[in-house]
Amino acid sequence: MNTTVKRRLFVGILLCFLISLRICVASAAIPGDLNNDNMISRAELSDAIISYMKFTYAGESVKCLEKDMLRETARKHFTITVTDLAGREVTVPTRVERVVLGQSLYIQEFAALEGENFTEKIVGWGSELETYDMDTYNEYLKKYPEIENIPTVGSLNKNTFDTEAIISLNPDLVIMPLMMKDIAQKSTENLENAGIPVLFVDFWKDPLENTQKSILVMGQVLGREKRAEDISRFYGEQMDKVYSVLNSKEENDTKQKVYVEYGSFGPSQYGMTFSTSNWGPMITKLNGINIAEGVASMAPIDPEYLLAENPDIIIIAGQYWPESKDSMILGYATNLTESRKRLQGFCTRSGWNTLNAVKNNNIHGIHQGISYHIYNFAGIQALAKWMYPEKFADLDPEANLREFHERYLPIDYNGVWILDIGEAQEK
Amino acid sequence: MKSANRETYNAIIKQKSLYLICFAIAVFLAFLTDIAVGSSSLSVYDVFSTIISPHLNNPNTNIIVWDFRLPKALMAIIVGASLAVAGAEVQTILDNPLASPYTLGISAAAGFGAALAVVFGLGTIPFAGSILVSINAFIFSFISFSIICLIAKIKNASKEIMILTGVSLLFLFQALISLLEYLATDEQLQKIVFWLFGSFENSSWSTVLICFVIFIVIVPLLAIDSWKLTALKLGDEKAKSLGINVEKLRLKVIICVTILTASAVCFVGTIGFVGLVPPHIARILTGEDQRYFIPLSALLGSLFLSLASIGGKIVCHKGVFPIGIATSMIGVPFFLSLIIMKRSESF
């Protein structure tokens, strides 16, 4: 063997080596890993399996094998089972593509999990968002005009929930509020008999306990575990900002008396107060006294009782009620001047000028939605700050709410959500 | 013989007057209790010293007594009297124990008017602001009444036609209220439900004044005809033979009753029971003599609403207990026991 041959052989071997190396590098991407994150998510796996099935079982005649049928097969064979917030075991397809939101107020949670293109997965929803939370609806409508065309399936709140309409939408999953479990019992049975899984989540009944669990289980079934864990972690950190300070305190503070009212009627008529729902448990959790405790839920307080109790802090829960011109307007569709003017209106109620809260400008507004959404951490932060101004001097609930919007929600934070009446005087 | 009759008559009149005096005292006591009872722990002395000399006490007590308790307590008295008188007269002219402003659909129409104002914010009078709900309630009770009158006029004001028209209107307006409840948003629904429950929470001195003036104007109008109304109970034919224009009388009374009911209901919401039961109790006690029947009904109505108001405050001392619920819960057992104990032919 002469040198030339040896050299050629060497070059050849080197080439082979380089080529095989190149091949190795090229194939480092995992087959089916569509977003190249070197991980096969469940969705990617079922995509790969579906395309494999298409090739293997349908051969060249892919056209005659409907995608819907494949999806149906995949649904039957590839499922995961989770435990929902009602403690039920729910088996859902690994690849959930068509979701009905039993309550459309869940748009915030759903969008937080699904990101920019969240509307693609919603095939139907309840009518609550448009009727109860109009400014949020309008805000989303600006960016996602297609939400106007999402079919509504009635509303559990009004007992107009249309199970038949849901079945005709052929969803992979229906997400329902735990609060409505009893009302929705028959609907749930019917849906499950039709092979449509129903997942109960809860941001209302026990928000302090169930918020993280709910977002995690939603993440699991939607194939967004990582995102859900991220949100849950953020939420936990925000809650810790309150709990860590509260737990570390040595002696008991004098308990603050708090009164919260749903400001939908404006100053002329006392709106309902919160004894055991929404803000009530948060106040108790923060070691305050909710003076409305013991009042029937959904009932207004006796004005005389309010004056006698003389609360230290008054909080008017606001929202967007366009038909009531002096209601406590808060949310996306307002500005500071208008909201503050409305809040000041409440102080003109008969006898309120004698209340400690009004004398000390300790009267605030907060968006009602904060109490029943994934961002309820901002609510407990705001309450904590108002109840213990010194301890939570550095805490900025509004900034944290804004950060949540920026990090997780597809729409921008604007308007007024948390309001202080005293700021005007201080400036 | 003549003097014996006279004596019997005097004895009966004396007894009836005694009833009036007793119940007047009872109403006064209930009124005082109503003012004295409340969710704040004011002493009875505080309350009454504030009433006598408003400027001596602290401003909080002043507000509680003068702005909260007094208007509500007075409203209970006036509304109770108005509704009971309205019920008494409706029962008289229609000669039907089931009749009341409620069964004539007047209350339901008021409820519909109120709900309409809540849901659409549009009333028959534009730009009326916060009193829109009350005004609308008032107007719709008049519309309901006009329909009854119109149909009664066409059909010669017979009682059966009036009752049937009233009852069918009642169902119509109830259906319309349900429709509005269906269309309403959550907070509107709340407002409607609160309104239909009935409440004195929105009472103020001006509502007290309006109701009082209407009561003072209307009741004498009814009282002038008390003999005619008494005669009407003998039956249309006999009343006619006594020279009474039955149709005209009936329409006049219906107008008065509508104004009374509408003015009361538009501020406090529908309180079904008060128009029905106090007149029956009054009838058991005094019979058909309108000179005693009207005032006693009024006193009993006031007494019931005051007691209901007190009861509501005791049961639920932090929140506001709906007055309509309290009224029925206190009044109905009492009424049933009366029916059982007294085997009267009054019905």
Dihedral sign for Cα B150, B152, B154, B160, please: positive
Q: Cα(first)–Cα(last) distance of chain B, in Å?
A: 32
> What was the pLDDT predicted at A426?
39
Question: Looking at the structure, do residues A94 and A184 belong to the same domain, yes or no?
Answer: yes
Residue A383 has phi, psi (to 5 degrees) of -60, -45
Q: Is residue A40 part of a domain?
A: yes
A302 touches chain B (CB under 8 A): yes
CB contact under 8 A, B190 and A272: yes
pLDDT greater than 80 at residue A85: yes
Specify whether the CB–CB gap between B200 and B264 falls below 8 A. Answer: no
CA–CA gap between residue B194 and residue B269 (Å, rounded): 8
- Mean model confidence pLDDT for chain A: 85
| Average pLDDT rounded to a whole number, residues B102-111 | 84
| Average pLDDT rounded to a whole number, residues A56-75 | 59
CA–CA gap between residue A412 and residue A332 (Å, rounded): 9
With bands split at pLDDT 50, 70 and 90, how would you rate the model's confidence at B343?
low
CB contact under 8 A, A303 and B194: no
> What was the pLDDT predicted at B234?
78
Question: Looking at the structure, do residues A148 and A200 belong to the same domain, yes or no?
Answer: yes
CB contact under 8 A, B190 and A351: no
CB contact under 8 A, B319 and A323: no
Q: Which residues contact A137 (CB under 8 A, 6 or more apart)?
A: A129, A130, A147
Where are the alpha helices (H) located in chain B, listed in sequence order?
Answer: 2-36, 44-52, 59-62, 70-94, 106-120, 132-154, 159-183, 186-197, 205-224, 226-232, 236-241, 246-268, 277-286, 290-315, 323-341
CATH of the domain at A85: 3.40.50.1980
Question: Looking at the structure, do residues A46 and A93 belong to the same domain, yes or no?
Answer: no
pLDDT (tens digit per residue) in B227-247: 888 888 877 788 888 888 888
> What was the pLDDT predicted at A424?
46
Residue with tokens 């400036």, as numbered in its chain: A427
Strands A313-318, A257-262: parallel, antiparallel or unpaired by DSSP? parallel
Nearest Cα residue to B148 out of B164, B134, B162: B162
Question: Looking at the structure, do residues A57 and A113 belong to the same domain, yes or no?
Answer: no
How is residue A268 written in tokens?
């002329």
Q: Is residue A3 part of a domain?
A: no
A259 touches chain B (CB under 8 A): no
Q: Is residue A6 part of a domain?
A: no
CB contact under 8 A, A321 and B187: yes
What residues does A331 pair with on adjacent strands? A416
Specify whether the CB–CB gap between B148 and B104 falls below 8 A. Answer: yes
Question: Looking at the structure, do residues A217 and A119 belong to the same domain, yes or no?
Answer: yes
Q: What is the ipTM of this complex?
A: 0.74
DSSP, res A261: E
Exposed e or buried b per residue across B209-223, where buried means at least 16 C-beta atoms within 10 angstroms of its C-beta:
ebbbebbeebbeebe
What residues does B35 pair with on adjacent strands? none
Specify whether the CB–CB gap between B249 and B230 falls below 8 A. Answer: no
> What was the pLDDT predicted at B176?
93
Give the 3-state secondary structure of residue A123. Answer: strand
Name the helix (H) or strand (E) containing A81.
strand A79-83
With bands split at pLDDT 50, 70 and 90, how would you rate the model's confidence at A45?
confident
A295 touches chain B (CB under 8 A): yes
Specify whether the CB–CB gap between B88 and B279 falls below 8 A. Answer: yes
Range of the domain at A110: 79-223
Q: Is residue A414 part of a domain?
A: yes
Question: Looking at the structure, do residues A176 and A274 belong to the same domain, yes or no?
Answer: no
Question: Looking at the structure, do residues A42 and A87 belong to the same domain, yes or no?
Answer: no
CB contact under 8 A, A298 and B185: no
Angle, helix A207-222 to helix A107-114, in steps of 10 degrees: 50
> What was the pLDDT predicted at B172?
93
Specify whether the CB–CB gap between B75 and B200 falls below 8 A. Answer: yes
> What was the pLDDT predicted at A57?
60
- Give how far B307 is from chain A: nearest CA, Å: 18
Q: CB neighbours (10 Å) of residue A368?
A: 27
A350 touches chain B (CB under 8 A): yes
CB contact under 8 A, B64 and A308: yes
Question: Looking at the structure, do residues A158 and A111 belong to the same domain, yes or no?
Answer: yes
> What was the pLDDT predicted at A55?
64
> What was the pLDDT predicted at A253?
65
Specify whether the CB–CB gap between A172 and A96 falls below 8 A. Answer: yes
Q: Is residue A189 part of a domain?
A: yes
Q: Which residue of B has its CA nearest to A302?
A: B319
Question: Looking at the structure, do residues A272 and A415 belong to the same domain, yes or no?
Answer: yes
- How many domains does chain A contain in total? 3
> What was the pLDDT predicted at A425?
46
CA–CA gap between residue A392 and residue A394 (Å, rounded): 5
Q: Which of A77, A92, A114 is the last residue of a domain?
A: A77
Most confident option among A64-78, A306-320, B138-152, B233-247: A306-320
> What was the pLDDT predicted at A1?
63
Query: How are strands ordered across the β-sheet holding A363-367?
Result: A289-290, A257-262, A313-318, A363-367, A418-420
DSSP, res B69: I
Q: Which residue of A has its CA nearest to B204?
A: A350
Q: Is residue A238 part of a domain?
A: no
DSSP, res B271: -
A322 touches chain B (CB under 8 A): no
Q: What is the dihedral of CA A90, A93, A94, A96, to 10 degrees?
A: -100
- Give how far B183 is from chain A: nearest CA, Å: 9
CA–CA gap between residue B164 and residue B179 (Å, rounded): 23
- Give how far B314 is from chain A: nearest CA, Å: 12
Which among A131, A298, A305 has CB closest to B185?
A131
Q: Is residue A298 part of a domain?
A: yes
- Give how far B222 is from chain A: nearest CA, Å: 35
Q: Which residues contact B170 (CB under 8 A, 6 or more apart)?
A: B102, B103, B104, B105, B108
> What was the pLDDT predicted at A121?
92
Q: Could you tell me the domains of chain B? A: 2-341 (1.10.3470.10)
pLDDT (tens digit per residue) in B157-205: 677 888 888 889 999 999 999 998 888 877 778 778 888 888 888 788 8
Name the helix (H) or strand (E) containing A317.
strand A313-318
pLDDT (tens digit per residue) in B247-287: 888 888 888 888 888 888 888 888 867 888 888 888 888 88
Which among A302, A350, A354 has CB closest to B319?
A302
A330 touches chain B (CB under 8 A): no
Nearest Cα residue to A376 out of A286, A297, A308: A286
What residues does B123 pair with on adjacent strands? none
Question: Looking at the structure, do residues A124 and A152 belong to the same domain, yes or no?
Answer: yes
With bands split at pLDDT 50, 70 and 90, how would you rate the model's confidence at A176?
very high
pLDDT greater than 60 at residue A251: no
Name the helix (H) or strand (E) containing B42.
none
CA–CA gap between residue B243 and residue B240 (Å, rounded): 5
Q: Which of B186, B310, B315, B317 should be substituted to probe chain A, the one whose Cβ sees the most A Cβ atoms within 10 Å? A: B186
Higher pLDDT among residues A108 and B249, named by residue:
A108
pLDDT greater than 70 at residue A321: yes
pLDDT greater than 60 at residue A217: yes
CB contact under 8 A, A303 and B316: no
Question: Looking at the structure, do residues A64 and A53 belong to the same domain, yes or no?
Answer: yes
Q: Is residue A233 part of a domain?
A: no
Whole-prediction pTM: 0.79
pLDDT greater than 80 at residue B210: yes
Provide, as residue numbers in chain A, all residues whose Cβ is less than 8 Å from the Cβ of B267: none
Higher pLDDT among residues A299 and A228, named by residue:
A228
CA–CA gap between residue B324 and residue B200 (Å, rounded): 10
> What was the pLDDT predicted at A343?
93
Q: Which of A223, A243, A276 is the last residue of a domain?
A: A223
Which among A262, A302, A323 has CB closest to B39?
A302
Nearest Cα residue to A113 out of A205, A31, A194, A216: A216
Angle, helix B132-154 to helix B246-268, in steps of 10 degrees: 160
With bands split at pLDDT 50, 70 and 90, how would you rate the model's confidence at B64?
confident
Provide, as residue numbers in chain B, all residues whose Cβ is less than 8 Å from the Cβ of A302: 38-39, 313, 317-320
CA–CA gap between residue A9 and residue A15 (Å, rounded): 10
CA–CA gap between residue B331 and residue B255 (Å, rounded): 27
- Mean model confidence pLDDT for chain B: 83
pLDDT greater than 90 at residue A213: yes
Higher pLDDT among residues A368 and B133, named by residue:
A368
A270 touches chain B (CB under 8 A): yes
Q: Which residues contact A64 (CB under 8 A, 6 or more apart)?
A: A58
Provide, as residue numbers in chain B, all residues whose Cβ is less than 8 Å from the Cβ of A321: 185, 187
pLDDT (tens digit per residue) in B8-61: 888 888 888 899 999 999 999 999 999 888 877 777 887 888 777 776 667 778
- Give how far A99 is from chain B: nearest CA, Å: 25
CA B152: distance to chain centroid?
A: 23
> What was the pLDDT predicted at A427?
33
- Alpha-carbon distance values, B329 to B88, B273, B315 (Å): 21, 10, 12
Nearest Cα residue to A265 out of B193, B150, B153: B193
Higher pLDDT among residues A120 and A28, named by residue:
A120
Question: Looking at the structure, do residues A325 and A382 belong to the same domain, yes or no?
Answer: yes
CB-defined contacts A:B, below 8 A: 92
> What was the pLDDT predicted at B262?
86
Specify whether the CB–CB gap between A314 and A362 falls below 8 A. Answer: yes
CB contact under 8 A, B186 and A292: no
What residues does B78 pair with on adjacent strands? none
